């Protein structure tokens, strides 16, 4: 198929999108965790991520080049339509959370006195343009920024490792275990990009399931490393900061290069744009396939308007924003759309396929 993205490009999209969530990690959003527990939670999150990705991974392994909605369409056209719209709503909701979270980050540590509405509006406009261009240009951009991101991460770690003292990281306490599990669960449920692959399976060249496994492993290692360095450098100060990893980047010094957070912030804005564009692209794919109409630009624009409306609604005041970010809707949605629906629909698809094969034989 033309315009397919390679495994490496897919890895870069997943990497860039998911790492943004780590950078904008907020202390005490879901639970109060000390640095040591946060590192353990990353390990537990790795297990949860693998487990929760199994249905998607199995689908990608078995039906590598068939979009999920096409497979569901074999079971029932009507069901495929409903499922597509539901998934589109889920991805748009995830995009609203991404933008709102980024808005909170930007408004808290970057530009407190300036309204972010205009910036978010233009960011979404760029996203619409990206979606219009297709997945291939988005993937190419992701590759460039994945490399830049990786270098900036190395620079932050190298620029702070000298100040890192592992005694600043307390061990886990028994009473923290429920919080660790909660944090790991919430974190695993932010892997929205994994169910999104169901809808772009036909646009991926190579084995997508192995890419997902590599991505989860790499992401977990990098997150654990970042949390270890942050805990070791910032100590209790990190627990006081709303965005501890941003604080870590602000104290990093790499040779004569100081104030790395300014450089990183620019990169993170592009990451936020890429993630939103990716979610918007997948949502528009869902709508396009379920409505069977070639009105992609219109879908995308409507999606962007919905995201912007959601952002305006949820960023009105901090309690509303925090309520959105703490909500169980995203984890609940993740369980339904990444685990339950793929299992149920895939089983139905397999049953239907067997039935059709039987009928053909007769």
Partner 1 sequence: MKFLSVLLCIVLLFTGCSQSASTELSNRLIIEAIGIDSDESGYKVSVLALNTLQTGSAGSTESPDGIAKVFTAKGNSIADAFSQLDLISAQIPLYSQARVLIIGKETAENQPLSALNFFIREHTTRDDIPVAVAETTANKIITADLGKNLLVSKVTADLLSSGKRNGQTVRVPLYSFVSRLLNETDAAYLPVLTVEKNAQKKDEIRAAGIALFANDNYTATLNNKTMNGFLYANNLIDSTLLEIDYNNKNISLTVRKIKTKTEINEKDPSVFSVAVSFSCDIIEHNSTNQDLNEQDILQIKLLAQEKIKKYTEDFLYYTLHDCGCDCLGFGKRIRNKYPTYYEQISKNYTSFLKNVQTVVIAEGAIHRPGREVLSGK
Binding mask 151-190 for partner 1 (x = CB under 8 A): ------------x-x-xxxxx-x-----------------
Phi, psi of 50 (to 5 degrees): -65, -50
Write the binding mask 248 to 267 for partner 1: x where contact by CB under 8 A, - elsewhere. Answer: --xx-x--------------
Residue 341: CB partners within 8 Å, gap ≥ 6?
83
Q: Which conformational region is residue 186 in: left (phi greater than 0), alpha (psi within -120 to 50 degrees), or beta?
A: alpha
Q: Report the C-alpha dihedral over residues 104, 110, 116, 120, rounded to 10 degrees.
A: -80
- Our CB check for partner 1 shows the closer of 35 and 83 to be 35
109 binds partner 1 (CB under 8 A): yes
**Tokens found for residue 1:** 């198929």
CA-closest candidate to residue 277, choices 139, 75, 83, 114: 139
Contact set for partner 1, span 68-97 (CB under 8 A): none
Residue from the set 3, 28, 114, 217 that interacts with partner 1 by CB under 8 A = 114
Helix (H, G, I), strand (E, B) or coil at 257: strand
**Least Cβ distance, residue 123 to partner 1 (angstroms):** 10
Question: Cα–Cα distance between 50 and 188 in angstroms, integer?
Answer: 9
Q: Which of 4, 119, 210, 327 binds partner 1 (CB under 8 A)?
A: 119
Among 21, 55, 238, 310, binds partner 1 (CB under 8 A): 238
| Beta carbon of residue 38, minimum distance to partner 1 (angstroms, whole number) | 15
Size of the site for partner 1 (CB under 8 A): 32
Residues forming a β-bridge with 204: 5
DSSP result, 2-44: TTPBPHHHHHHHHHHHHHHHHHT--TTSS----HHHHHHHHHH
Using CB under 8 A, pick the residue from 3, 217, 240, 320 that binds partner 1: 240
Least Cβ distance, residue 26 to partner 1 (angstroms): 15
Residue 309, Cβ density class (10 Å: 0-12 exposed, 13-18 middle, ≥19 buried): exposed
Closer by beta carbon to partner 1, 36 or else 195: 36
Write the CB contacts of 245 (distance below 8 Å, at least 6 apart in sequence).
22, 23, 24, 25, 226, 230
Task: Out of 117, 237, 293, 354, name the contact with partner 1 by CB under 8 A.
Answer: 237
Q: Does 117 bind partner 1 (CB under 8 A)?
A: no
Binding of partner 1 by 125 (CB under 8 A): yes
State which of residues 126, 302, 336, 350 lies at the interface with partner 1 (CB under 8 A): 126
Cα–Cα distance measured from residue 40 to residue 52, given in angstroms and rounded to the nearest whole number = 18
Q: Provide, rounded to whole angstroms, the least separation between the CB of residue 250 and partner 1.
A: 5
Least distance from partner 1 to the Cβ atom of residue 124, Å: 11
The C-alpha torsion from 213 through 300 and 5 to 151, rounded to 10°, is -70
Name the phi and psi angles at 76, rounded to 5.
-160, 130
Nearer residue to partner 1 within complex by CB, 5 or 123: 123
Q: Which CB, 47 or 177, lies closer to partner 1?
A: 177
Cβ neighbours of residue 312 closer than 8 Å, sequence gap 6 or more: 117
Minimum CB–partner distance for residue 234 and partner 1 (Å): 6
Smallest gap from Cβ 87 to partner 1, in A, equals 27
| Element counts in the chain: helices (H) and strands (E) | 16, 0
Q: Name which of 77 and 258 has its Cβ closer to partner 1.
A: 258
Q: Which positions lie near partner 1, rule CB under 8 A?
A: 108-110, 112, 114, 118-119, 122, 125-126, 129, 132, 163, 165, 167-171, 173, 233-240, 247, 250-251, 253
């Amino acid at each position: 198929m033309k315009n397919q993205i390679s495994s490496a490009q897919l890895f870069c999209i997943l990497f860039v999108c998911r790492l943004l969530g780590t950078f904008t990690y907020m202390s005490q959003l879901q639970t109060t965790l000390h640095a040591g527990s946060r590192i353990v939670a990353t390990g537990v999150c790795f297990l949860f991520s693998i487990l929760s990705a199994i249905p998607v991974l199995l689908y990608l392994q078995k039906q590598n080049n068939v979009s999920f909605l096409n497979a569901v369409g074999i079971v029932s056209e009507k069901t495929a339509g409903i499922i597509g719209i539901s998934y589109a709503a889920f991805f748009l909701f995830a995009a609203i959370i991404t933008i709102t979270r980024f808005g909170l980050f930007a408004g808290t540590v970057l530009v407190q006195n300036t309204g972010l509405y205009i910036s978010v509006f233009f960011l979404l406009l760029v996203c619409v343009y990206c979606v219009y261009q297709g997945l291939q240009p988005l993937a190419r951009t992701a590759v460039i920024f994945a490399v830049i991101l990786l270098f900036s991460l190395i620079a932050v770690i190298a620029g702070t490792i000298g100040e890192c003292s592992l005694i600043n990281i307390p061990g886990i306490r028994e009473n923290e275990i429920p919080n660790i599990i909660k944090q790991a669960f919430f974190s695993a449920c932010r892997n929205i990009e994994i169910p999104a692959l169901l809808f772009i399976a036909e646009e991926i060249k190579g084995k997508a399931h192995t890419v997902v496994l590599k991505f989860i492993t790499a992401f977990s290692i990098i997150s654990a490393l970042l949390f270890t360095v942050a805990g070791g450098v910032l100590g209790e100060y990190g627990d006081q900061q709303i965005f501890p990893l941003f604080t870590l980047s602000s104290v990093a010094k790499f040779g004569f290069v100081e104030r790395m957070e300014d450089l990183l912030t620019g990169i993170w804005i592009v990451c936020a744009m890429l993630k939103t564009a990716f979610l918007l692209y997948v949502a528009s794919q869902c709508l396009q396939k379920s409505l069977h109409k070639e009105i992609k630009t219109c879908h995308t624009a409507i999606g962007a308007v919905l995201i912007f409306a959601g952002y305006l609604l949820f960023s009105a005041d901090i309690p509303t924003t925090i309520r959105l970010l703490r909500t169980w809707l995203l984890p609940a949605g993740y369980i339904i759309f990444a685990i339950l629906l793929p299992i149920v629909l895939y089983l139905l698809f397999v049953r239907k396929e067997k039935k059709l094969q039987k009928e053909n034989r007769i």
